[in-house]
Structure formats: C-alpha cells, structure tokens
Amino acid sequence: MRIARFSIDGNVAFGAVEGDSSTATDGELVLDIIKGIPYADFELSGVKVPLSKVRLLPPVLGNKIVAFGRNYADHAKEMGGEVPEAPFAFFKPTTSMIGSGDAIVYPGFTEELHHEAELAVVIGRMCREVPRERVKDVIYGYTCANDITARDVQRREKQWARAKGFDGACPIGPWVETGLDIAAASDLAIQCTVNGEQRQLGSTSQMIHSIEDLIVNVTEAMTLLPGDVILTGTPAGVGPLNVGDEVAVTIQGIGTLTNKVIKRG
C-alpha cells in the first residue's frame, strides 16, 4: 500500500493511493482518506479525492532524520573519501523536509548546491537495540529522498549541520510504499535526473552497509520513533543544481519525487 500525506482546502490528512502510478497520470490516481494514524491500525474512509487536486506533503511526521554518508563505494570514491568500516551517521532536522512538488529554495550561503538520490526507510514503531532478525518488524515502509547538500559549505565546515540541514534540504516522497520487504528494498534501481537528463543511476544492492546494518547501528545508540526516517546513502553521480532546474528521484517500485530549484525571494 502507498500512503501519502496531503493538504486540501486547508485540511491535512493521510490517504491510501489507488491506481497504477507506473502508467497513470496524477489525474487518474486517487487518495482514499485514512481514518486515524497510518502507523497504527486504521480504516479507509471511502472518501476519495483525486491526487491532482491535493498538495502532497512530506509523507511522514518523524522526530528525526538519521542519514548515512559514503554508503556506496563509487560515491565515496568520487568524493575522495575512504569507505567507512562502520556506518557513518549524521542528522538532518525535520525542518529540512519538503514534499514532492515543493520548491527547493537555493540558500544564499552556498554557491554549490548538489543533489543526492537516496532510498529512505520509514520507522513504524518505537524501537531500541533492534537485533538484526527483528529489523523487518520495525520498518513501516520506504520512500524516495534527496539529500540536498551545500557542497562548498560541507567542505569548509567540519560539522555538516548547515551544509545538509538547511530548510528544504530533504525533499521526501511522494508517498511511503509499505508493500516491500527488506529483500526487495535491497535490490531496487535508483535514479536521479535533472531537467530530464540522467545524473545518477544505481541500485540499492550496491550499498556497503545494508538496511539491517544501518538500523542495528543507529538503534544501539538511540530510540527510534514511528515516522523517523533513515537515509541510506547515495550512489555515484552527485552533481550541481541551479536555479530553474527540476530534479527528480525515481526508485523502482516506489515512485518519483520531483522538485524545482528556485531563487530565494
């Protein structure tokens, strides 16, 4: 099931996406509004709205975004860094999240904005010290993410808080796909295009540290809550974004996250 969060007529709701997104246009997809919170038991209301009539929001309301860097060997190589022996984590604030269709506002403090297409894992239950064999039980689903980075700022500042945490630095969506198991999610094609031109193409099978590795690693140290997001790293091919560009992240079996870069007003 694909679960979206959206606004319509000033109201915010969750809905189950109906229709085949691989062949349908947005106008042919509909949202069946959910009664309750999707992380717990819920019912479909039967009240349906066309996807084309709503504004998609970030599909989760998490407390934190834990991101992992250099988790693809080719990306580590292109950045001139070593492949980490253990997962390498950093945080992005939830205020950095925007939804599919929202604008990425080019920050005034950078001259080198980059895209990074990533598979995002959404947590479905409170958990800590999760053993490998139980990782599947704490995952709610998967979505697309773009770890937007101020690359020049990242190079000159030892901490990545500003380089990767500014408002709009974490586009995520368009919805959460709950129907994938870990084996399927670990072998998905992931692509990034800018203005229709392919920039990144890889597979989640190329991750150095697996989905299980990442969740075991982070829950050794902290509690994860429903809606928390794990960014699993990006394949090679990261590159610049300019004002006016449209960047799209497509992950097989999930969907496409699309955002346009605009100038700060």
Same domain, 254 and 219: yes
108 plus 230 within the same structural domain: yes
> What is the share, in percent, of the chain residues with pLDDT greater than 70?
97
- CA-CA distance, 93 to 217, in Å (whole number)? 19
Q: Has residue 148 got a pLDDT over 80?
A: yes
Domain boundary among 38, 56, 74: 56
Residue 77 and residue 37 share a domain: no
Q: How sure is the predictor about 176, in pLDDT bands with cuts at 50, 70 and 90?
A: very high
Number of domains the chain is built from: 2
Average pLDDT over residues 248-259: 98
Q: Is 215's pLDDT higher than 80? A: yes
Question: Long-range pairs for 85-88 at CB < 8 Å and ≥24 separation?
Answer: 86/209, 86/217, 87/209, 87/213, 87/214, 87/217, 87/218
Q: Residue 251: pLDDT above 60? A: yes
**Placement of tokens 């394949």 in the chain:** 235
Check whether residue 49 and residue 78 sit in a common domain. no
Rounded-to-integer distance, Cα 259 and Cα 141, Å: 22
pTM: 0.95
Q: Are 225 and 126 in contact (CB under 8 A)?
A: yes
In this structure, the answer to whether residues 109 and 160 fall within a common structural domain is yes
Same domain, 131 and 216: yes
What's the rounded mean pLDDT across residues 132-151?
Answer: 98
| Distance, first Cα to last Cα, the chain | 38
Co-location of 257 and 141 in the same domain: yes
Q: What is the pLDDT of residue 21?
A: 61
DSSP per-residue string spanning the chain: -EEEEEEETTEEEEEEEES-TTT--GGG-EEEEEES-TTS--EEEEEEEEGGGSEEE-S---S-EEEEES-BHHHHHHTT-PPPSS-EEEEE-GGGEE-TT-EEEEPTT-S-EEE-EEEEEEE-S-BSS--GGGHHHHEEEEEEEE--EEHHHHHH-SS-HHHHHSTT-EEEEEEEE-S--HHHHTS-EEEEEETTEEEEEEEGGGBSS-HHHHHHHHHTTS-B-TT-EEE----S--EEE-TT-EEEEEETTTEEEEEEEEE--
Q: Compute the distance between CA of residue 78 and CA of residue 231 in angstroms, rounded to an integer.
A: 19
| 185-198 average pLDDT score | 98
Question: What confidence tens digit (pLDDT) does each residue in 16-74 have?
Answer: 999 876 554 555 899 999 998 888 888 999 999 999 999 999 999 889 999 999 999 88
- 193 with 258, same domain: the answer is yes
Kindly report, residue by residue over 154-171, the tens digit of the pLDDT: 999 989 999 999 999 999
**How would residue 108 be classed by pLDDT, with cut points 50, 70 and 90?**
very high
With a cut of 90, say whether residue 255 has pLDDT above it.
yes
What are φ and ψ of residue 252, in 5° steps? -50, 130
**Last residue of some domain: 37, 56, 75?**
56
Same domain, 26 and 153: no
Clarify whether residues 220 and 89 are in a common domain. yes
d(CA 232, CA 202): 13
Segments forming the whole domain that contains residue 210 = 65-263
User: Would you say 233 and 176 are in contact if contact means Cβ atoms under 8 Å apart?
Assistant: no
Summarize pLDDT for 79-93 with one digit per residue, the tens: 777 778 899 999 999
Asked if residue 137 and residue 33 are part of one domain, the reply reads: no
Shared domain for 47 and 91, answered yes or no, is: no
Mean of pLDDT values over 189-215: 98
The per-residue pLDDT of the chain, averaged, comes to 94
* Residue 18, domain CATH: 2.30.30.370
**CATH number of the domain bearing residue 92:** 3.90.850.10
